[in-house]
Structure 1
């Protein structure tokens, strides 16, 4: 039985294997998992497993803007992140917290086959393995979204990916695998998890088959494999397809979505510290706001205007009244993914049906007119609704912008204006990969992202 130090000082060593940390005496109360109960406790630690997800891409995304004074009130890293992170790395905690999740999962995966049952069962052993594979894959995916270039099948084998930590040995060297190898690893993890996870978990902070299938659908959408994205979206929706009828919500009061609401498949929240997305300062993009029809209940439920005159976002699916923090997976995303795949694959009637099904629950009763959209406009309509429905849904928009950059029909030029000066995201693949923390580069010797 190995002894593991699973404590917060290992944020960096979990990635770098720096010897200077190895002489620190471990916390003995956390050191030796000996039963399935211990491993289950690791996977049930919501502070480490279900929170502190990256949100750098969302702070650079296009669904909001900041006034000059509000931008100046932020710290230097957050100001630079808002301007597309071209000079400084984003907060180091994004990288570190992700690899702590990976470390925890690696400990579980190395021990789950041999520890005593404790008070649990062999079915729990299988479940815990599946949870660890899912969580590791979700961490890898979020790192790929934030720290790598857009996926291109022709060059992914030679494009830098992320360090794939698949061992709990902190002395194992870390190198950046290729982008293709990185995606292959997390897809392999998720496909294995899909086989062994329960159809529905006991709580939504745990993954089940629907969550694994939904995440696979998101991953394949990111890589442009629409057949596979469709397959897994259909699988996830066959397990859970409930949509909230927004007509049952209060359009006047703020914060209408409860934590673990009916549409949530897997609950996760972002690291919102020092965020530029607080609804006191983050002003919804005026073009986005104007794109909602007046009978579209999302316009009233998602957005409110505060005493400062800021029209901000109040539709967080984790129920946060101060800023968006929900970084998990929900059913509405799956309908939009399936509709997009249908549209791209020429299955027009099915794409229209999915779009109608979603919008009937979003518009005021009796006002949505499902007259049909011309075939050549349907994909654009689906993508427009994707942006409107998933605005401020963390972990999604930046991945979409990256994949659209490879599609000349839907590429979006990002720009900001601060103090009268315009800043634009360079039209290069490298610009979409945020800088890796300098300490990680200096101590670990891995390759930095270019500029």
Structure 2
């Protein structure tokens, strides 16, 4: 039902809201007060405006949908693409400032942030909405903006922290540190948690669990281990979510493992990954091929390798490709699948790492064993060292979340292991490649922006 509603309302919401929300980095149009009054004058229009932003974020190959799997996946050691085009710069870790994809990622992310800022401001000024509805829609917008900023800083490092629609101020903003942006993300998610319901009617929209799951991740990324463990534990013990019985069932329509999902609004496609990763036929070379290093990291009996990876053999050459999402095209016989944004398995691994840092060893083994047993693997020996446990967490995170939302790329950078791992696989590796370049077009538009080292 939500999927159909998103499709129907998408164009209406865009027409109403986006006429005053052009790409903030590129253009600054004056706010249209009449349009703002119409959009946020009643509950139906206000809901439509926010759902329109959801549709932008979730539709096609946007900044978040699909892109955060494919490009960090190539930058890390997960997948490679056949051919020679701009995408090869990602897998070679040799991006240039004029790379068109880098520019599109940046501008689309900030366009979505601008739309969310316009929504937040419109809700604040509205006199036609109840306080409770205004608060709930604002909290959802804060969650979405937090998600966008999390991925921006993990791609580019420090970025401008744009919190208003004031074009004059925004066009000269310098880059804010990652610490400042993380603090803002935490502030907004904490605020959202106090407002949003514990579970939404559909986990397509942000709810309290979305805020808590993202908070747990952010706390881990900022070395706030007790808070990370507490947030993860609250979700694990809530009774709302449950690990799927097997890897194959994780993304099923009825899976209780999924804390947050994106709805498909692109005609004929269930997920961007399914459409792109799954070849059109058994005789087709996959568009993206799993690396030998990732394949070698799996034990043969690992159910994740058996159920989440497929092979096409063409002229004697075997090509492995991701098969987490099995549905390439929507048709009458297509498997019902959800596009996972946040899932419970991550919370177990967050808690395991946080507890290891805190010295709570018993819980570390328990959480890791749950993930391993679901994959058909044996439990860990209790004699292994803390350093070995940390590497085991890294490995299980890699195998559990390969080709999902850039987890591998971000974890290697977060833990300081990116140089050691990447230099062993990519001879031309440079430490500067851990951050993407700020697009040349943005540097030219805003003289207060500085470029990342090495570009």
TM exceeding 0.5: yes
TM-score by length of 2: 0.78
- Within 5 A, what are the aligned runs for 1:286-297? 286-297=292-303
- Within 5 A, what are the aligned runs for 1:16-35? 16=26, 18=27, 22=29, 32-35=39-42
1:71 counterpart SS class: coil
* Cα pair 2:21 2:118 within 8 Å, conserved: no
* Cα pair 1:98 1:139 within 8 Å, conserved: yes
Is structure 2 residue 201 aligned with structure 1 residue 202?
yes
* Cα pair 2:252 2:338 within 8 Å, conserved: no
Question: Within 1, Cα distance between the matches of 2:34 and 2:277?
Answer: 36
> Residue 361 of structure 1 aligns with which residue?
374
> Residue 76 of structure 2 aligns with which residue?
61
Question: Within 2, Cα distance between the matches of 1:8 and 1:416?
Answer: 47
> Residue 423 of structure 1 aligns with which residue?
428
What is the CA deviation profile of residues 182-240 of structure 1, one whole-angstrom value per residue up to 9, with x for unaligned ones?
22111111111111111111211111111111111111222233222222222232334
Deviation at 1:392, TM superposition (A): 0.7
Deviation at 1:360, TM superposition (A): 2.3
Deviation at 1:370, TM superposition (A): 5.5
1:84 counterpart SS class: coil
Deviation at 1:248, TM superposition (A): 7.2
Is structure 2 residue 48 aligned with structure 1 residue 41?
yes
* Cα pair 1:59 1:277 within 8 Å, conserved: no
Deviation at 1:104, TM superposition (A): 1.9
> Residue 360 of structure 2 aligns with which residue?
347
Question: Within 2, Cα distance between the matches of 1:303 and 1:296?
Answer: 11
* Cα pair 2:277 2:323 within 8 Å, conserved: no
> Residue 265 of structure 1 aligns with which residue?
259
Deviation at 1:325, TM superposition (A): 11
Q: 1:325 to 1:140 in 2, by over 3 A?
A: farther
Give the helix-richer structure, 1 or 2: 2
TM-score by length of 1: 0.79
* Cα pair 2:251 2:340 within 8 Å, conserved: no
Unaligned ranges ≥5, structure 2: 1-14, 265-270, 280-285, 330-336
> Residue 401 of structure 1 aligns with which residue?
412
> Residue 83 of structure 2 aligns with which residue?
71
Deviation at 1:163, TM superposition (A): 0.9
Question: Within 2, Cα distance between the matches of 1:25 and 1:123?
Answer: 25
Question: Within 2, Cα distance between the matches of 1:230 and 1:15?
Answer: 37
- Within 5 A, what are the aligned runs for 1:424-443? 424=429, 426-427=430-431, 430-443=432-445
Q: 1:179 to 1:23 in 2, by over 3 A?
A: closer
> Residue 282 of structure 1 aligns with which residue?
288
Question: Within 2, Cα distance between the matches of 1:307 and 1:11?
Answer: 47
Question: Within 2, Cα distance between the matches of 1:172 and 1:99?
Answer: 14
Question: Within 2, Cα distance between the matches of 1:85 and 1:232?
Answer: 37
Question: Within 2, Cα distance between the matches of 1:261 and 1:382?
Answer: 24
Q: 1:277 to 1:31 in 2, by over 3 A?
A: farther
Question: Within 2, Cα distance between the matches of 1:385 and 1:411?
Answer: 18
Is structure 2 residue 397 aligned with structure 1 residue 386?
yes
Deviation at 1:60, TM superposition (A): 0.7
Unaligned ranges ≥5, structure 1: 149-160, 250-255
